[in-house]
A and B are shown apart, each in its own frame.
Chain A
């Protein structure tokens, strides 16, 4: 069995945002979802290069939607997480969970 590709922190954030958005994940919605959940708006350049890099790694896939007038007739580029991407995310989150075990950070003792 091959090991899932390792993910950086921002890659995990982007993947989670795509999963939350389901079929409506494109540049604008991914940015606003990240901003709404984390309180930080990612730089557009960082987001696009991260999405491209993840697509090259086979973690996400993309396709072009229909052209819309509010975008000057330009299509949206939608993103979805692939099976490999989901496996990588699960692996990364399990690692976090293992590290958090026994710390009770979310429970408030150390918060």
Chain B
């Protein structure tokens, strides 16, 4: 494989094929004057400028999601127990899914904000939903807060259905969320199986200290869930929301 073909393949990992071809073509055109070292150094700089946002988002979003999962779960526990009958312990199973849904949305929010910016339709939609679900978790015990958030959520989704860009954003959101949910279920199943393989029976602090791998495996599986969400988000955004009219095969005068 010729070196420029390798360069083209590398750049195409971070942008679409047409852009990659024209960028490498520019470098190839200047290479006879500037040299091979300049060619490869320029390629590295191009790749860094194309990839830094995605790399940062890919690393930061799952971490932030896990952190928010802990925060939301603790907030829900406090809020629920304050309003539950005396003697109640723990949050019922259905309510448990609220922090998980919230954490998925937080992962998406951080990813889309870093990768696409706040002007992106998907970021705006996720931001609206994140705000509502976080308010629901924190204000769960107050019927007014709950009703307002549910009504706002319905309004946001209904308004999204009217405009094409937001309809596509809803599609991206749904696919990413479903991917996250599927990955979460699989991660929980695998973590459960591993835990029973290492230590059958109930887990307490002492058992966790004796078998630290249980915690690490669970954390790793949760991180993979986060990466599945960001990957689904990125792929769906690319296929549904990228403007297909950006490249014209022939010049069209608009000036």
Contact = CB atoms under 8 A, between A and B. Distances in A.
Given A55-B246, A61-B254, A74-B21, A26 B49 contact: no
Interface in B196-253: 243, 246-253
B45 interface: yes
How would you classify the secondary structure of chain B's contact residues: helix, strand, loop or mixed?
Answer: helix
Interface string B30-63: 1000000000001001111110000000000000
Interface in B120-172: none
Give the one of A48, A52, A76 with max B CB within 10 A: A48
B64 interface: no
A96 interface: no
A14 interface: no
A27 B108 CA distance: 33
B25 to A, nearest CB: 3
Given A64-B18, A74-B24, A48 B249 contact: no
Contacts of A71: 25-26, 28-29
A71 B8 CA distance: 12
Give the one of B28, B243, B253 with max A CB within 10 A: B28
Interface residues of A, number: 31
A72 B49 CA distance: 24
A70 B26 CA distance: 10
B252 A63 contact: yes
B254 A74 contact: no
Contacts of B50: 45, 48-49
B121 to A, nearest CB: 12
A60 B24 CA distance: 21
A78 B29 contact: no
Give the one of B8, B22, B30 with max A CB within 10 A: B22
B1 interface: no
6 contacts: A72-B24, A72-B28, A74-B21, A80-B254, A81-B255, A83-B255
Given A45-B47, A48-B19, A49-B49, 17 more contacts: A27-B22, A28-B30, A44-B45, A45-B48, A52-B15, A56-B243, A61-B246, A61-B252, A62-B248, A63-B248, A63-B252, A64-B247, A64-B248, A64-B249, A74-B28, A77-B19, A77-B247
Interface of A: 23, 26-28, 43-46, 48-49, 52, 55-56, 61-64, 68, 70-72, 74-78, 80-83, 86
